[in-house]
Amino acid sequence: MSDGALDLARVLNPEQIAAVTHGDGPQLVLAGAGSGKTRVITYRIGWLTLERGVDPAAIAAVTFTNKAAAEMRERAENLLRRYPLPTFVGTFHRFCLVLLRRYGERLGLRRDFAILDTDDQVSLIKKALEIEQLAETAFPPRTVLGAISAAKNQLVSHDAYERTATNFFEVRVARVYRRYQRLLGEASGVDFDDMIALAVKLLAEDDEVGERVRRRLRYLLVDEFQDTNHAQLRLVRELVGATGNLTAVGDEDQGIYRWRGADLGNILEFEKSFPGAVVRKLERNYRSTQTILDASGAVVAHNQGRRGKRLWTDAGAGDRLELYRASDEQDEARWIVRTLQGLRGRYPLAQMAVLVRTNAQTRAIEEELLRQEVPYSLVGGVRFYERAEVKDLIAYLRVVRNPRDTLSMLRVLNQPPRGIGRGTQEQLEARAAELGQPLWDVLLHDDLGRFAARAAKALQGFRDLVRGLQEEAAELPLPALLDRLLERTGYAQIYSKTDPEDEARLENIREFLSAAQEFTEREAVAAAEDDTLTAFLDHVALVSDLDSWQAERGVALMTLHSAKGLEFKAVVVAGLEEGLLPHFNSGHKREDLEEERRLLYVGMTRAEERLFLTACRRRRIAGRYQDQEESPFLAEVPQELLVATESPSLFVSDRTRPVYEFFGRQPAAALPEYEVEEAPRGRPAVKRGARVRHATLGQGVVIELEGAGEDLKLTIFFDRAGRRKLLAKYASLEML
């Protein structure tokens, strides 16, 4: 390849050039951490356009986060300059949304369907449980939603789920699944899982649409391929076929989303899905020191589920890793903050991060950062667009856009209070069910005289409010419409300007107005294709918590999952203990344990120059101190790459009860014998469907019983930990 217009030899290494200049057919690019995968994708877009003369409208690039997509789009713009951008650069969900907005009516969708967030989904699950007469205590809504989501990720319809359901839990979830889908339709709603599944259905079953899309799309580039689930793999296959022009970029060592449906087999067995694919490796790292690469590589090398690669860099060896063995979480927090303070002369605070396995670990660290007056940014709190007052305004806009969106209507029917009480709402819902109509049609066409005079007047007022806003929506730009909405509803007046919490809510309302203004200026869509209101609602539905994270706000404090894709000069990975990392949920399964190891690998490879690890001798859990054992992953770090120090007050206990008992693991052979506390005699009989609590696994529902007496085994579906099988006499369960 000659240097040509792009001068690839100046900006890319030989392996990157090979991936960029790949001809036709499928290729898999195994891109190690920090090896420049985004650069490869954007330069491939540039090479196809500038060197091969491919129409940018025939190219699409998809990834998993808006943040990654924005970076990809910006780089492509800088590269192509006077040429138009590819037909699509964005997330899987946004890609599917474009398809469904354009062709969804062929599947029976309204063009103005709403995208439901998690809270909306939970609300519908609760309603489905109520209709099916199933108690939330036995069937926690989020647990049921998780089971339904897992089925949808496998493209299992409610009919198919019902046919294959075998145990107590699944048979009842099947009923809820069917009811939930019916409620989704009544609310003119689509959830995130359905967006992928419906796009697959559209492409696979509608020959005309499938052929039209495939004829237009000649080259597809997919980032983070290790994070794809079965439905997303099917989507890719429907778009390019088995031998089409696909460039998939990913790293099996960074696959950390198995718990939400990602299938590592998609990248490990890529050639089975795309026969004849070329596989290339990017092993040169441009981020970390060789010491960090060697240490993290030695850890992940213990995994069996990987293709294998060895990262290298010419950045030099760098400093050794530091491990601090703390007495407890307060001692750990003090050491972490002291270490960060010591680095302030070398790095800006925004270039330092503390990574944890669970959100609960941040409390002690936050308190110490506040105590030492160290600015920090906590990533992963409540999303801006999920705050109650913001969700209220979004619901109003959704009702204005589509008043048959029953879920949104119920949210704002009496918000702010206008005299429509719970009884009136239930009467309205009952009337809608009786007529088989949405609530809006009842408000429009039914006799409101059947309601009490005060309630009827309030309902009529709400109806007139929505109709008035609909008329104004046709004339006013989005920011002006929001101003009018606040004025006509009096929504902002329900918050006091003297209450600090209310003032924060008012700030959020003002920020929402700013977001609408910025969107209108930046990304307003032509009315012929889609109206600005719909485009804005789609935008807020697809934004994630990391998209708005601002690094300049101080030390980053976040979970390991949230840190993926980021990089910092100095990183602390805190809490390398059994039960935390690896997490107790990983149980005995090799696949789960390997995912925990990959999670640590992701955390370690976020560091550019300095990497610190901590482990506590004891940690307060649920108000009580528990002895902790070091993570077995620490033993996998080459000792010559590690400097270890211990707290002067390192805690030593008599250890009379093992934390391992709760984690479902056996202590290492070198550890002393532990006493096992038997379950109390005379405990109540456990029945299928019973709601129980385990000391560490939390609450769950008993779905199967096997054996009897001393040999009784229980299969329990825990809200957080999923399915677990326990020996009843040792489980120490509390009946709820």
Q: Which residues are catalytic?
A: 37-38, 223-224, 254, 606
Structural tokens at position 559: 């979970």
Q: What is the pairing mode between strands 618-621 and 624-627?
A: antiparallel
- How many angstroms separate the Cα of 327 from the Cα of each of 324, 348, 400, 471, 537? 10, 29, 57, 65, 49
* Distance from C-alpha of 242 to C-alpha of 273, rounded to nearest angstrom: 6
The encoded tokens of residue 607 equal 């560091």
How far apart (Å, rounded) are the C-alpha atoms in residues 56 and 725?
53
Distance CA(610)–CA(323), nearest Å, equals 12
Q: Nearest to residue 350, comparing CAs of 539, 552, 207, 199?
A: 552
- Give 282-319 as a DSSP string: E-B-SSS-HHHHHHHHHHHTT-SS------B-SS---P
Cα–Cα distance list, 522 to 166, 189, 418, 516, 547 (Å): 51, 27, 36, 10, 16
- Rounding to the nearest 10 degrees, give the CA dihedral for residues 439, 444, 449, 451: 20
Rounded distance between C-alpha atoms, residue 323 and residue 643, angstroms: 6
How far apart CA 522 and CA 206 sit, in angstroms, is 34
Spatial contact of 262 and 54, defined as CB atoms under 8 Å apart: no
Q: How far apart are CA 536 and CA 475, in angstroms?
A: 16
Question: What CA–CA distance (Å, rounded) separates 224 from 263?
Answer: 12
User: In whole angstroms, what is the distance from residue 409 CA to residue 395 CA?
Assistant: 7
C-alpha closest to that of 539 among 573, 504, 515 = 515
CB 105 within 8 A of CB 206: no
For the four alpha carbons of 244, 247, 251 and 255, in that order, the dihedral sign comes to: negative
DSSP state of 583: B
Q: How are strands ordered across the β-sheet holding 722-727?
A: 722-727, 713-718, 698-706, 691-694, 734-735
Closest residue by Cα to residue 142 from 736, 722, 726, 724: 722
Alpha helices in 319-477 (DSSP H): 329-343, 362-371, 388-401, 406-412, 422-435, 439-445, 453-473
**Distance in angstroms (rounded) separating the CA atoms of residues 677 and 212:** 66
The contacts of residue 74 (CB under 8 Å, 6+ apart) are: none
Q: Which residues contact 47 (CB under 8 A, 6 or more apart)?
A: 6, 8, 20, 21
DSSP state, 577? B
671, two tokens: 């550890």
C-alpha distances in angstroms, 33 versus 39, 297, 496, 499, 681?
Answer: 13, 10, 49, 47, 53
Chain-centre distance for alpha carbon 389: 23
Structure-token pair, residue 546: 């990391």
Distance CA(630)–CA(653), nearest Å, equals 15
Residue type, 207: D
Q: What angle do CA 312, 317, 318 make, to 5 degrees?
A: 125
